[in-house]
Structure 1
Amino acid sequence: MQVIWSFCLSVILILGWSNNAIAGELSARLANFPQWEKLTSVQPAKGDLVYPEWMAGTWQVTSTLVDLAAPLAPDIVTPGFAGNRRQLNQPVSFTVRFVKEKLPNVSLKIIPKIDTNSPFLVADRAFNSLNLARAYLGNEAVLSVKIDPDSPNRQITFLRGERQLVSIVTARATETTSEGKYITTEVFQQLFKGGSVPYLNSVESTTAYHKLSTLSPAIEADQVTAVYLSPQDPDYFTAGSRPVALYRYRLEFFPPN
């Protein structure tokens, strides 16, 4: 199941439209790592996430795993957790981009006085996810990434050997802090198909983006990805609302050469 975890990373830049979180909740969540439980204030995912204008364009991203935890060990440890320790402090680089699109047709009650005719900044989900997956798994292992044309919240990653990873965003929230950070969180279900038994779990990714006064890097981010057991797992009730694995990353965004 090492492949399963590697694709958890793809949530970094597959984000969608979001309601605001309770003030300060996401900031406190990052500060309290690794003392986490499932978020309760997220809202159902609808449409696409609008990013701040300072994230526009193409970026070379360096992602470094800086910490990890298995809160329920030794009783419950996710497959691949021990192997992921080898990635600690090993930077991985890939290219991402954010593009302008018209706002999707969703309820705008959460954003008053918004001009729905203006273009908004969103992640190029297929491009970003493909580059990220290949950076971790290799070009030959990842064939393509397809976004559902009817929903930016559902994507399929096609892998070598007729395997697939289906990722569906189910809930999310955002928060803007007084320090100028833009924080996003997403909860999604991922299903790995192609093995002897399909594998399902739940993942949450919370990321705080911060614009810097420098160009190298121009943006930094603190990200935590939490893995939760699905109801189909025999240890589901033992784990309860607690994550079984936590991974913390430092992200740095550099302008392209």
Structure 2
Amino acid sequence: MRQKFFLFLVSILIIFTYTGSVLAETIIETNNFQPSKLSERKSNWPDWRLPFSIKRPGLKDDLIYPDWFEGVWDVTSVIEGGKNNNKNQEPIIHSAKFIHNTSGNLIADREYNTNSYALSSKTGGFLSVKNDPKSPNRQVAKLTEDRYLETKIIGRLQEKINNNIFITDELILQILHTPEFSRVSQVETLTEFKKCRSNQNNEINLSDFNICGEQFQAIYNQPGQNVISLPIKTEKSKLLLRKTNDG
């Protein structure tokens, strides 16, 4: 149960996550889709391996989102399945916020999003999370029983396919610290976001849309054990973001 919680927490530390039947909304049709490195990576899941040509971010570099992510969203997420996990999980409903940084770029409020996701899940053990003030690529989560989870993003790619599709891929180093030992692993999370209709009719209102997505995740052993690393666990999730009604 704890291992499953750590995987959930890592997902949200990186970005956040997804749902099943609520994704009945039809995806907005997009034209002129061009194959990309990340769409090819997605099509190869779960047959992933490391190393992969993913760029190491600079100390101050963050994941930059398209403008259509701006604001606060109600997020429904659920794990559909994967290696060692064949059953759908109960949806988790949480909140996600995207804000502009001092450079004017749109970024995820990682601390807010992580706390919202973890506190909305039914798995215990989470107390709080803090960003590293020196880098957006590192967080430390405080857990019960004198444990804490350190996550550091060591690789990132992002692609804006067109005005409706955005794909990200992040590789993190995860270190679980306990009084007895420290456990190191790597987690790769690829997420494809798409604008989708906010209702069931055939009209598309581009000023009133949801964001639908798929997320593909793989856990690898700690770096350096093998020249080529294969996943020891994989999971696929679905996501739906609905703009929060402030009224």
> TM exceeds 0.5?
yes
Counterpart residue number, 1:190: 174
Q: Is the 8 A contact 1:11 1:205 kept in 2?
A: no
Mapped partners of 1:215, 1:121: distance in 2? 26
- The one-letter amino acid of 2:193's match is Y
- The one-letter amino acid of 1:230's match is Q
Mapped partners of 1:12, 1:151: distance in 2? 14
2:127 is the counterpart of 1:143: yes
What SS does the corresponding residue of 2:7 show, helix, strand or coil?
helix
Q: Is the 8 A contact 1:200 1:230 kept in 2?
A: yes
Mapped partners of 1:85, 1:12: distance in 2? 23
TM-score, length of structure 2 as denominator length: 0.79
Counterpart residue number, 2:11: 9
**Greater displacement, 171-180 / 247-256:** 171-180
Q: Is the 8 A contact 2:126 2:143 kept in 1?
A: yes
**Greater displacement, 151-160 / 174-183:** 174-183
TM-score, length of structure 1 as denominator length: 0.76
Mapped partners of 2:210, 2:51: distance in 1? 30
Any gaps of 5 or more consecutive residues in structure 1? 15-22, 70-80, 104-118
Q: How many residues align?
A: 215
In 2 relative to 1, CA 94–39 (structure 1 residues): closer, same or farther, beyond 3 Å? farther
Runs in 1 of length 4+ with deviation above 6 angstroms?
Answer: none
Q: Is the 8 A contact 2:13 2:110 kept in 1?
A: no
Mapped partners of 1:34, 1:225: distance in 2? 8
- The one-letter amino acid of 1:68's match is G
Identity in percent: 28
CA distances 1:135-163 after superposition (whole Å, capped 9, x unpaired): 2355x632211101110111100112221
What SS does the corresponding residue of 2:45 show, helix, strand or coil?
coil
Counterpart residue number, 1:30: 42
2:232 is the counterpart of 1:244: yes
Any gaps of 5 or more consecutive residues in structure 2? 17-34, 201-208
Q: Is the 8 A contact 1:6 1:137 kept in 2?
A: no
- The one-letter amino acid of 1:59's match is W
- The one-letter amino acid of 1:10's match is I
- The one-letter amino acid of 1:253's match is L
